[in-house]
């Protein structure tokens, strides 16, 4: 079993739709979760990070962590064609605190159609 599982998609939505991207993780000790966006032939760009359970909002993006079900989500409101990219969820490799050594999911490819 992979430590972080993510549906690779692709996911195609019309412009303006609400997008939900999801990951599950296997180790309940993980506490630090991140979402990265990666455009084609570019490096990953950090979108959001969050500790433990709850929601964190930043503009059109909301990150949600449910530790009871080991489930993390990224919601994108009013999606735009410029949001078309691969979205990677990640958690820290070590269990106690954030050390900067990341475990990534496979990535979900999102296409937002005008």
Partner 1 sequence: DAGVTQSPTHLIKTRGQQVTLRCSPKSGHDTVSWYQQALGQGPQFIFQYYEEEERQRGNFPDRFSGHQFPNYSSELNVNALLLGDSALYLCASSLRQGDQETQYFGPGTRLLVL
Q: Which residues sit at the interface with partner 1, rule CB under 8 A?
A: 4, 6, 8, 36, 41-46, 49, 88, 90, 93, 97-107
- What is the token pair recorded at 94? 């070590």
Residue 43 burial (CB count, 10 A)? 7
Q: Which is nearer to partner 1, 76 or 104 (CB)?
A: 104
How is residue 79 written in tokens?
């999606």
* Closest distance to partner 1 from the beta carbon of 60 (Å): 21
Tell the smallest beta-carbon distance from residue 74 to partner 1 (Å): 14
Nearer to partner 1, 16 or 52 (CB): 52
The secondary structure of 57-76 as a DSSP string is EETTEEEEEETTTTEEEEEE
């Amino acid at each position: 079993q992979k430590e972080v599982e993510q549906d690779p998609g692709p996911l195609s939505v019309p412009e303006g739709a609400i997008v939900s991207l999801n990951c599950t993780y296997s180790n309940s000790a993980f506490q630090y979760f991140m979402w990265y966006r990666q455009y084609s032939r570019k490096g990953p760009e950090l979108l959001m990070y969050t500790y433990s359970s709850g929601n964190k909002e930043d503009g059109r993006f909301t990150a949600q962590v449910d530790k009871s079900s080991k489930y993390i989500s990224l919601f994108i409101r009013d999606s735009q064609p410029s949001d078309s990219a691969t979205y990677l969820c990640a958690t820290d490799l070590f269990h106690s605190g954030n050390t900067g050594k990341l475990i990534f999911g496979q990535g979900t490819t999102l296409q937002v159609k005008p």
